[in-house]
A and B are shown apart, each in its own frame.
Chain A
Amino acid sequence: MKNVILVADDSPSVRKFISLTLSLKGFKIISAADGMEALEILPNEKINLLITDLNMPNVDGFELIRTIRANEELKDLPIIILSSLSGNNEIQEGMACGANSYLVKPFDPHRIVYEVTKYLN
Chain B
Amino acid sequence: MTKTEEKYFYRSAGAADLIDFINKIPANKLSQKIPDFLDELLINEDKGIQNLLSYSLINYLGEKEAGIIARHISSDKINIRNFAGELLIKIGAKAVPALIKYLVSVSDDDDLKFTIDILGMIGDSKAGDTLISVLLSAQNENVIVACIEALGNIKYEEAVDYIMMCYDKKDVYKMYVIEALSKIGSAKALEFLHNKYPDENEFTRLTMIETMGVIGDEETFFFLLSELNEREGAIVCTIMEAILKLKDKFGFDIPFDEKMKNAVIQTVFAADPDYKEVAVYLISLFHDREILDACLRIYGKDPELDSIIKHKFFDYQNYNLLELAALINEKPANLQPLLFLLQHVLDEFDRRERKIQNVEYRNLIDSITKCLEYPHEEIRKSAMSILFRLDTGIALMFLDIMVRDDNVWNRLHLLDLLADIDIEQTKDALSVLMKDDNEMVAEKSRSLLEFNYQTEKP
Interfacial residues, chain A to chain B (CB-CB below 8 A): 11, 13, 16-17, 19-21, 23-26, 28-30, 54-58, 60, 62, 84-87, 90, 105-110
B400 lies within 8 A of chain A by Cβ? no
Q: Which residue of B lies closest to A108 (CB)?
A: B172
Task: Write the chain B residue with the least CB distance to A57.
Answer: B86
Which chain B positions have C-beta within 8 A of A25? 234
Cross-chain contact of B235 among A11, A24, A56 (Cβ < 8 A): A24
A109–B175 contact, CB under 8 A?
yes
Interface centre among B203, B210, B233 (most CB of A within 10 A): B203
Identify A13's interface contact among B78, B176, B274, CB under 8 A.
B176
Closest chain-A Cβ to B193's Cβ sits at a distance in Å of 15
Known: A105-B142, A106-B142. A60 touches B149 (CB 8 A): no
Neighbour of A86 across the interface among B110, B175, B176, B207, CB < 8 A: B110
Chain B, interface SS category = helix
Tally chain B residues at the interface, Cβ within 8 Å. Answer: 37
* A26 to B272 CA separation, bound complex (whole angstroms): 11
For A17, list chain B residues within 8 Å (CB): 175, 179, 207
8 additional A-B residue pairs with CB within 8 Å, beyond A21-B206, A28-B272, A57-B85: A23-B234, A24-B234, A30-B273, A55-B82, A60-B79, A86-B110, A106-B175, A109-B204
Contact A11 B149 (CB under 8 A): yes
Inter-chain contacts of B202 with A (CB < 8 A): 24
| Alpha-carbon distance A24/B85, docked complex (angstroms) | 33
Q: Which of B83, B172, B179, B272 contacts A16 (CB 8 A)?
A: B179
Nearest CB in chain A to that of B235: its residue = A24
Q: Is B113 an interface residue (CB 8 A)?
A: yes
Please report which residues of chain B, range 138-187, place their CB below 8 angstroms from some CB of chain A when the two chains form the complex. Answer: 140-142, 145, 149, 152, 171-173, 175-176, 179
Q: Which residues of B contact A23 (CB under 8 A)?
A: 234, 272, 274
A19–B113 Cα distance when bound, in Å, is 23
Interface string of B89-121 (1 = CB under 8 A from A): 000000000000000000001100110010000
Q: Is the CB of B82 within 8 A of A57?
A: yes
Q: Point out the residue from A13, A28, A58, A108 that lies within 8 Å of B149, measured CB to CB.
A: A13
User: When chains A and B are docked, how far (Å) is the Cα of A54 from the Cα of B179?
Assistant: 22
Q: Which residues of chain B have C-beta atoms less than 8 A from A54's C-beta?
A: 78
Most buried by B among A17, A26, A54, A90: A17
The distance in angstroms between the C-alpha atoms of A48 and B210, with both chains bound, is 27
A1 to nearest B CB, angstroms?
Answer: 10
Q: Is the CB of B78 within 8 A of A106?
A: no
| Nearest B-chain residue to A23, judged by Cβ | B234
Residues of A within 8 A of B173 (CB): 106
A13-B109 Cα distance, complex, nearest whole Å:
20
Residues of B186-221 at the interface with A, using a CB-CB cut-off of 8 Å, are 202-204, 206-207, 210
Q: Which residue of A lies closest to B237 (CB)?
A: A23
B81: chain A residues at CB < 8 Å are 55
Some 25 contacts from A to B, beta carbons below 8 A apart, are A13-B176, A13-B179, A16-B210, A17-B175, A20-B207, A20-B210, A21-B203, A21-B206, A23-B272, A23-B274, A28-B272, A56-B82, A57-B83, A57-B86, A60-B79, A60-B82, A84-B142, A86-B110, A86-B142, A90-B78, A106-B142, A106-B172, A106-B175, A109-B203, A110-B203
* Contacting pair B78 A62 (CB below 8 A): yes
Which residues 252-310 in B have Cβ within 8 Å of A in the complex?
272-274
In the bound assembly, the distance between CA atoms of A57 and B87 in angstroms comes to 10
The answer on a CB contact under 8 Å between B206 and A24 is: yes
Choice from A21, A26, A105 contacting B145 with Cβ under 8 Å: A105
A79 and B334 CA atoms in complex are apart in Å by 31
B171 neighbours in A (Cβ, 8 Å)? 108
| B274 contacts across to A, CB distance below 8 A | 19, 23, 29
| CA of A119 to CA of B256, assembled, Å | 41
**B206 to chain A: closest CB distance in Å?**
5
Q: Which of A21, A23, A29, A54 has the most CB of B within 10 A?
A: A23
Is B336 interfacial (CB-CB < 8 Å)? no
Flag if B145 contacts A106 (CB, 8 Å).
yes
Report how far A110 CA is from B204 CA in the complex, Å. Answer: 11
Chain B residues positioned under 8 Å from A90 (CB to CB): 78
The 10 A-B residue pairs with the shortest CB-CB distance in the complex, in nearest-first order: A109-B203, A57-B86, A106-B172, A106-B145, A85-B110, A20-B206, A84-B142, A24-B234, A13-B179, A86-B109
Asked whether any CB of chain A lies closer than 8 Å to the CB of B369, the reply is no
